[in-house]
Amino acid sequence: MSKQKNLIVVLFIAIMALALAACNAAQAGGTAAPLAQTGSTVSAGGITVVGQGTAYGQPDQATVVVGVETFAATVAEATTQNQTTLDNVMAALTAAGIAAEDIQTTNYSLYAEQTYGENGPTGIAGYRVSNQVNVKIRDIALISDVLAAVTEAGANAIYGVNFSVADPAALEAEARALAMQDAANRAASLAELGSVSLGEVVVISEVVGAPVMPYGGGYAMEQAASAAPGISPGQLSYQVQVQVTYSIQ
């Protein structure tokens, strides 16, 4: 039994020796396959830049907050006076061509105003009611006339004239194209400075900013305006940022 085991061990050693010799011969007489072909370039890096584009345009619509504030000795008197005046304002807006869907209540408040003495509150002086509506004016040429009409109808508070573009798609497209061109210019400059060749675009991401618009401050009036106020719509801008990654060669 032990002789058979010894014979098996000897045969195993002999087979391993022959296999090792054959492997060495193959390595000595053959040529190993190359890891990479000559002339190819592998790069895990790239150039990432942020380009910005800004397009300018003329506003063609506006929104304005129109308010009516009243003060009276009782709640009933204050609310009745306020509603009567607001009805007149709403009629003036309709006559100026403002559609009902372009008028929206944005604030309504009612509070008591107290009188004060040396030791603190002494009573109620009366009640103040404030009612405000947001008005969208789709024809920018009508802004001054609309403001004059509502103040003549009794509105005594106007807050902010905000201009905008009804369809900003064209301005956004222009800003986007300018942003991509800016990114390409920046990437080309960096590639030249880094002594590399710019490759294809591999990643693009976009950030669209809110339009930068001219803004008119609020003002209050105790009496009706005698003439249409001067309004300057100015110019607004749309900004687009793009982050672009280019491969390098």
Residue 29: pLDDT over 60: no
Cα separation of 224 and 148, whole Å?
Answer: 8
Distance of CA 77 to the CA centre of its chain: 45
Token pair of 93 as six digits = 């807006």
Residues sharing a CB contact under 8 Å with residue 49, sequence separation 6 or more, in sequence order:
183, 186, 187, 190, 243, 244, 246
Residue type, 55: A
User: Residues 31, 33, 35, 37: is their CA dihedral positive or negative?
Assistant: positive
pLDDT, mean of residues 28-32 = 40
Reported as a single tens digit per residue, the pLDDT across 75-109 is 999 999 999 999 999 999 999 999 999 999 999 99
CA 156 – CA 85 distance, rounded (Å): 10
> pLDDT-derived band of residue 120, with 50, 70 and 90 as boundaries?
confident
Token representation of residue 175:
């800003």
Given this structure, which CATH class describes domain 59-166+214-226? alpha beta
Q: How far apart are CA 115 and CA 107, in angstroms?
A: 25
Q: Where are the alpha helices (DSSP H) in 61-142?
A: 75-95
Distance CA 202, CA 211 (A): 29
User: Tokens 């009640």 appear where?
Assistant: 127
Per-residue pLDDT, 11: 44
Quote the mean pLDDT of the chain.
80
Domain regions of the chain by residue span: 59-166+214-226
| Mean pLDDT (whole number) for 111-139 | 93
Q: 248 near 190, Cβ under 8 Å?
A: no
Neighbouring residues of 37: CB distance < 8 A, sequence distance ≥ 6: none
pLDDT tens for 178-199 read 999 999 999 999 999 999 999 9
Q: Tokens 């990479």 belong to which residue?
A: 36
**Token pair listed for 178:** 């300018």
